[in-house]
Structure 1
Amino acid sequence: MNVCPVCNGLKQLDVHCSECSSQMEEKGRYMDYFDDYSPYMPIDQMKLEDGIPNDYKNHQCPHLYRCPSCGNDQIVLIKE
């Protein structure tokens, strides 16, 4: 069984904004932002529908990171 270390609070990533180099904030799984019911759908099913190639096959969990300084969003793939 593969688990995401960020989703499960086992790890925090130090991600810097590609626009302004500020520290970015982790905002949760990318696919949780699709619609009101996304957070309640099976994770593997949502990976098949999120538009990110091979995240399901490669056991990666896409997380949204947002820069508090400039508002830039970035998707970071976390190895499960």
Structure 2
Amino acid sequence: MAICPVCNSLKVLEINCPNCGTLLENDGKVADFLDPYSHYEDEETVKMGDGYPNTAKDQICPHLMVCHNCGYDKVVFIKEE
């Protein structure tokens, strides 16, 4: 079973905001915003309802990156290892 290196603190995302240059903050997995109990569920079950059709098949983990300076946000797909 593959794991997300960002969720498991094996890697850190460092992406600058294209609007203001501030370092984007990783606000976590997108699925955590869809359901308050999703982090208690099996990962494969969560991926079936996260709104991205290929997360389970392609073994990717969508993370929400946010600029708390200007409000820019973007979803980044992390390849699980």
TM-score of the superposition, structure 2-length normalised?
0.88
Structure 2 unmatched ranges of 5 or more: none
Structure 1 unmatched ranges of 5 or more: none
CA distance in 2, matches of 1:19, 1:42: 36
User: 1:36 is matched by which residue type in structure 2?
Assistant: P
Residue 31 of structure 1: aligned partner: 31
User: Could you report, residue by residue, the CA deviation over 1:23-70 in whole angstroms, capped at 9, with x for unpaired residues?
Assistant: 100011110111221221111111111111211110001111110111
CA distance in 2, matches of 1:47, 1:32: 11
- For residues 1-80 of structure 1, what are the structure 2 equivalents within 5 Å? 1-80=1-80
CA distance in 2, matches of 1:12, 1:21: 18
- Root-mean-square deviation (CA, aligned residues, Å) is 1.2
Aligned residues: 80
TM-score of the superposition, structure 1-length normalised?
0.89
Tell me the percent identity. Answer: 45
User: 1:39 is matched by which residue type in structure 2?
Assistant: H
User: 1:25 is matched by which residue type in structure 2?
Assistant: E
